[in-house]
């Protein structure tokens, strides 16, 4: 009997162990499959986002170069000329673009003359605001806001930003468009595109820059391929933040610089399905184990019940027999009460 009891307990325990092990393995398999699927999807989406960044950045450069080349041919550039030349940029839907400006260089000693000349060409009320401690300044003369942003005041000195100044000087030296290093705060990095204006004469004359501002987060959010991605666009070479979760990185060459695109999936590709399967499997396993144990011990409980009933009937029969053979005064008139007593 004891051996049978142990066998029944072992059977119920085996059901519990097998059920829990199967549930755990199933949950782990689902999680691994989810991770693998998320890795594949992340690779595909990052590749698409990189291609979109390259295409859009190339469109920026082409439009800026073409506009700058047209402005360089104008010997007496005025606000009306600038307004007409940059109108296509406003209609181009450039993602993340904040403004486009015509910028000219000026030595400190020439600021008054430069201000007077451009006021005569339509920059009404222009006030040049030189940054301190600079020998050469880069003043915005005409500015057109883009992307629904508010217009920045003309006359600002781009030399106040080391990143912008470096891009302007580099593009003038190379004769090619340049992109600044990133600058900004915790709200996201910004960049500056600068295209130099050189005439096509036998002895080219430098006439300034066409400069476009770009906000990284708005640039990415405006690309359909990057929609829904937790992405950042940062300059290559500076320390890049690392965070837990599914992450991909890729480089994009734009003009004379490289950018790094970081894409992340904060959840790591996980859902609540593995946990649901784990909890459901544990509950089902314990329920089945309880049923197995109940069925395995049903015969034993039935035997015990029969034996208790048989013992009660035997005791009752003995009391009745004693009552029949006892003297009349000693008989128990209520056998049921005697049994109860």
Single residue among 246, 265, 284 that ends a domain in this structure: 265
CA distances from 275 to 35, 36, 127, 205, 281 (A): 14, 17, 65, 70, 10
pLDDT at 41 > cutoff 90? no
What integer pLDDT is reported at residue 283 of this predicted model? 80
CB 190 within 8 A of CB 212: no
What integer pLDDT is reported at residue 17 of this predicted model? 78
Altogether, the residues listed in the chain come to a count of: 341
Query: Is the domain of 226 the same as that of 311?
Result: no
pTM assigned to the model: 0.66
Q: With bands split at pLDDT 50, 70 and 90, how would you rate the model's confidence at 338? A: very low
The reply to whether 336 falls in a domain is yes
The reply to whether 284 falls in a domain is no
The reply to whether 256 falls in a domain is yes
Q: What angle do CA 269, 272, 274 make, to 5 degrees?
A: 90
Query: Is the domain of 105 the same as that of 214?
Result: yes
Q: What is the token pair recorded at 58?
A: 């190339």
The reply to whether 47 falls in a domain is yes
The reply to whether 16 falls in a domain is no
What integer pLDDT is reported at residue 84 of this predicted model? 94
Query: Is the domain of 226 the same as that of 313?
Result: no
What integer pLDDT is reported at residue 130 of this predicted model? 93
pLDDT at 56 > cutoff 60? yes
pLDDT at 152 > cutoff 80? no
Can you give the residue range of the structural domain that contains 331? Answer: 298-340
The reply to whether 19 falls in a domain is no
The reply to whether 176 falls in a domain is yes
């Amino acid at each position: 009997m004891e051996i049978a009891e142990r066998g029944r307990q072992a059977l119920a325990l085996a059901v519990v162990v097998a059920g829990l092990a199967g549930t755990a393995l199933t949950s782990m398999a689902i999680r691994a499959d989810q991770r693998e699927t998320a890795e594949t999807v992340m690779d595909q989406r990052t590749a698409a986002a990189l291609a979109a960044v390259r295409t859009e950045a190339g469109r920026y450069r082409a439009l800026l170069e073409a506009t700058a080349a047209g402005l360089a041919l104008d010997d007496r550039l005025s606000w009306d000329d600038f307004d007409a030349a940059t109108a296509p940029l406003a209609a181009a839907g450039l993602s993340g673009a904040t403004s486009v400006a015509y910028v000219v260089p000026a030595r400190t000693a020439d600021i008054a003359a430069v201000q007077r000349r451009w006021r005569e060409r339509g920059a009404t009320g222009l006030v040049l605001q030189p940054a301190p401690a600079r020998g050469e300044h880069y003043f915005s003369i005409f500015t057109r806001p883009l992307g629904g942003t508010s217009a920045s005041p003309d006359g600002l000195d781009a030399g106040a930003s080391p990143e912008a100044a470096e891009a302007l000087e580099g593009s003038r030296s190379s004769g090619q468009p340049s992109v600044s290093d990133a600058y900004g705060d915790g709200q996201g990095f910004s960049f500056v595109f600068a295209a130099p204006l050189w005439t096509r004469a036998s002895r080219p004359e430098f006439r300034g820059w066409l400069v476009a501002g770009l906000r990284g987060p708005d640039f990415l959010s405006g690309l359909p391929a990057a929609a829904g991605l937790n992405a950042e666009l940062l300059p290559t070479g500076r320390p890049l933040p690392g965070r837990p979760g599914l992450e991909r990185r890729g480089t994009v060459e734009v003009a004379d610089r490289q950018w790094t695109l970081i894409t992340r999936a904060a959840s790591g590709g996980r859902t609540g399905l593995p946990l649901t399967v784990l909890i459901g499997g544990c509950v089902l396993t314990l329920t089945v184990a309880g049923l197995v144990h109940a069925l395995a011990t049903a015969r034993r409980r039935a035997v015990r019940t029969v034996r208790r009933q048989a013992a009660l009937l035997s005791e009752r029969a003995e009391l009745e027999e004693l009552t029949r053979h006892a003297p009349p005064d000693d008989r128990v008139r209520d056998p049921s009460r005697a049994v109860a007593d």
